[in-house]
Every structure is written in C-alpha cells, then in structure tokens.
Chains A and B, each alone.
Chain A
Amino acid sequence: MSSADTAITRDASLAEFDRTTSRWGQLTMGVALFLSLAAPLYLVLFTDLGITASMIWTAYLAVAAAFFVLWFVEPITYYPVLGPAAMYQAFMIGNIANKLLPSALVAQAAIGAKAGTKRGEFAALMAICGAAMVHVLSMLFFVGILGTWLVSIIPTDIVDVARLYIFPAIIGGVLVQLVVTMKQPRVTVIAVVVAALVLFVLVPAVPALAKPATGVVVLITAVLAWFLRSRKAPATPTTLVN
C-alpha cells in the first residue's frame, strides 16, 4: 500500500470514529436528558399534590435567572479541552473540573500523549470512560445501597436537624471554595456588596423582588463586574462549578 492509501484509510477510520461517537453521544445524552426530566414530571403529573404550572414556571424562572449564563459558558469553555466526543460524556457524568479533567490529564501523562493531538484525545476519552465506570459503581453502591440504608437507621431527630441546616452548611463552604479558586477579588467584592444591597435594602423596600432576588443580584453583578473590570490584568480562564 502506498503512503497516500494509508493516509486515506487513516482519515476514513478517524471519520468513522467521529461519526460513531457523535451519533451515540447525542443519542445517549438525549436519553439521559429525557429520563432526568421524566422523573420530576412523573411526580407532578401522577401525584395528587395540587401543583400548578405557574408554580413550576415561577420556580424555573428564579433558577434560570441565576444559572442560564453557565448553561452556555461551560460547554464553550470545556470544548477545547474535552473534544467533541468527550463533551457528551462530561455533561452527563458531571463533576468535570474536579474529577474528569484531572483523570484525563493523568492518563495523557501516563502514556506521554499531548493534549490537542489525536493520541491525547483518545487517552482523555478512555480516561473519562474509566472515571465514569468508577463513579457510576461508587454512586450506585455507596449512595444507592449503603446511603439509603444509613439514612433509614439514623435517628429521626438527627435526620430532621440535618435536613434543616444542610443548605447553610453547603453554601458557606461552596462560597469560600468559589472565591478562592476564582481568584477574582474585584468580582467577589462587587458580588457581596450587590447581594447585601439587594437582599437587605432593595427587597425590603420592593417585596415583589423577593422571588427573583438572586437573578437580580447575578445580573447587576455581571454588568458591574464587566464595566468595573481591571483593564491591566490579562484574562485567565475561570474555574466553573460542574
């Protein structure tokens, strides 16, 4: 076979890989998307709780106002690192920054493959498959089986207190973690000042703003952070939540 023929079969082989991974990636992600929406929808439709559509849309708008920027920014940010095939894995398995990316880097280092090459892309893909298997099994066993059992034997007064204070116990840690990993002191100050003003001055004055308060904070913070940004420091990519 001449070298031209080899190049053609190689291209064809890689093109087939791209086709297979994007077709199956989209299909499996579509199924996961459908199933993950079907679960709460089942509860809305088939339990007699008296939930109305307006309750759901109001709640959704409050959540979307806080997070819609990230829906688009995270895929765009991670694409150059992950490549097309791994994108469909990453946004289904989650915990990208703290688990999938480190796994991919370790694997590339283990076989001496550079990121951005085909070798690097394949190593990252296999590493994410490995990480996915470990993650799926540990979630099913330790959370699905052991965790459910554990909750059933913990005394109810402890469970009640845990349920009451779990959110403040999460938010304190998450906020510190975000502020430290982002290293954006200016944005942090703006965010805290805006949040304090909106929650403790604006909302008491205009009670109608209580529901979308977090969305209002996000919007004002983003606009102020943009116009008050330091024009000297070079932009560095940011660390995200998923």
Chain B
Amino acid sequence: METALTPEGLSTDILAIANMPVLWVLALGVFAAIIVQSLVYMKAARKAGPAAEISEEELKTSFRAGAIAAIGPSLAVVLVSIALLTLFGTPAVLVRIGLVGSAATESASASLAAGTMGATLGGPDYTQAVFVVAFMAMSMSGAGWMLATLILTPILRRGDTKLRRVNPALMAIVPAAALIGAFASLGLAELGKTPVHILSVIVSAITMAICITLASRTRATWLREWGLGISIIVGLIAAYIAHTSGLAPAA
C-alpha cells in the first residue's frame, strides 16, 4: 500500500464519501444535461419535421416507440446498477454505469485502477483512497469516449473520407481483440484469487451461457438484455453460500 495515504484514506467506509451531497448535485447535473438536450432536440425536430417529410404524429409515434422499447433494457441496467451501489455509492453508479459507460467497462476500469494501488475491488484493502482513485480513473477513461465523440462527429459530418476508408477488416478485428483481450485478462486474473472468486466467475459465466442459449433457442429473447443482471445475482448468491460456509480465507 502506498505510504502517502492519510489515516482517513485508509478507511474502508466507502459510502461515507461516495454518497456526499456534492456528488449527488453533480450527478443530477448530468441528468439535467441529458433532459435539456432531449427537449432541445425534440423542439428542433418538430420545427424541421415538414422539411424531413415526417409529420408531427409520426414524430410522436417514434418517441413513444423508442420509450416503450427502452423499458426492458433500462430496468435490466437498473438491476446491475443496484448490485454495484455498495461498491461505488449512488452518484457514481448513476453517472458511470447508468449513463456514460456500462457495467462492464466501468467495473473493469475500477478493478484495473484498484490493482495499481495494490488493492482488490471490494476487498478488505478497498479503502476510501482506492475508491477515489478508481472513480477518477474511470471518469477520465469515460471522458475519452466523450472527447472522441466531440472531436470525431464534426469530422465525420464533413464526410471526411479518410476516416471512412479505414480498412473494414481492421475495424472488425482490432476492437474485438482489444475488448476480448481486456476482459479475458481481467477474468483470468480473478481465477488467481480465492476459491470463492473462482466460483463466482464460473457460476456467472455458466449462468450467462444458459441465458444466451435460452434466448436464442426459445422465444425468451428478453433474456439477452437481462442476462448480465441475472448472472451477477446468481454469481453473488453462489459466492455468499460458499463464503459463509467457510470456503473463503478467514477475514
């Protein structure tokens, strides 16, 4: 553990700082930005609707269709977010997992950041200082996506052909390799920890495999979006049973 940390920095009461009122205000600000954006866009769409050959009625239908289609996926994100509340506190979960990022990228970022502090995400060494560094690092990484969007969108809009001429094979293989590489590395790293960690990884993986199989073989396609939430819950239940029955090293 780094030596610069103060006694406060070594406290493991994450929620004491993760749920501070200032963070709530900033998180609500991000929500407000999204709401303002949607309102401005809808007004602009209604004004330019005739020029785009789309009627006011069709705009309303589109809004409603999008809203209804989003209910299932949104609630699936809610389930995953609630599971992560104890790790990051409500404001960070709302912004990072609920909005900008996803459960996969943000928890991966946090785990990587905690690793550089010599700590395990959620472990006995997951102190306030580790949480803050992880929160900072995942927010900076999330800013990467937003900055890229802010920079690339105007360029793509001008129809810059250079970006579009990027080799399609490169665009298919490199991101897939980067993603699978990152998550395979993080997954295998968990297998090097306690037997309960190994069990959680395996149970979660098997649960996901079952959900995906059922989603493609039966009519239960909703299992595709709920798969992650279900896998996390089943994985945690297995971990709880194993942990309380003494599989874990004495804490």
Q: A13-B48, A172-B235, A173-B235 are in contact. Are A139 and B94 (CB under 8 A)?
A: yes
B33: contacting residue among A92, A171, A179, CB under 8 A: A92
Whole-angstrom distance between the Cβ of B61 and the nearest chain A Cβ: 5
**Pick from B4, B62, B187: contact of A111, CB under 8 Å:** B62
How many of chain A's residues have a CB under 8 angstroms from any CB in B? 162
Residues A55 and B94 in contact, CB atoms below 8 Å apart: no
Q: How far is the CB of B233 from chain A (nearest CB, A)?
A: 8
| Interface pair B181/A184, CB less than 8 Å apart | no
How many CB-defined contacts (below 8 Å) exist between A and B? 643
Choice from B66, B93, B128, B153 contacting A88 with Cβ under 8 Å: B153
Q: Is the CB of B2 within 8 A of A55?
A: yes
Q: Are the C-beta atoms of B186 and A214 separated by less than 8 Å?
A: yes
Instruction: Name the A residues within 8 Å of B232 (CB-CB).
Output: 166, 169-170, 173
Question: For the complex, would chain B's binding face be called helix, strand, loop or mixed by DSSP majority?
Answer: helix
Interface size for B (C-beta < 8 A) is: 172
B35–A136 touching, CB < 8 Å: yes
Most chain B CB within a 10 A radius of its CB, from A158, A168, A195, A218: A168
Return 17 A-B CB contacts under 8 Å, by A number: A24-B44, A32-B99, A39-B92, A49-B9, A67-B182, A69-B174, A71-B145, A89-B41, A139-B77, A144-B94, A163-B86, A170-B232, A176-B209, A198-B185, A211-B116, A220-B181, A242-B145
B190 to chain A, nearest CB (A): 4
CB-contact partner of A21 in B44, B62, B225, under 8 A: B44
Q: Does chain A have a CB within 8 A of B5?
A: yes
Is there an interface contact between A16 and B208, defined as CB atoms closer than 8 Å?
Answer: no
Chain A residues with Cβ below 8 Å from B34 are: 28, 32, 89, 92-93, 132, 136
A1-42, CB under 8 A of B: which get 1 and which 0? Answer: 000000001110110110011101110111111011111111
Q: Are B83 and A21 in contact (CB under 8 A)?
A: no
Determine the distance from Cα of A41 to Cα of B63 in the docked complex, in whole angstroms.
36
> Known pairs A49-B132, A63-B109. 5 more at Cβ < 8 A?
A42-B22, A67-B105, A92-B30, A139-B99, A166-B86
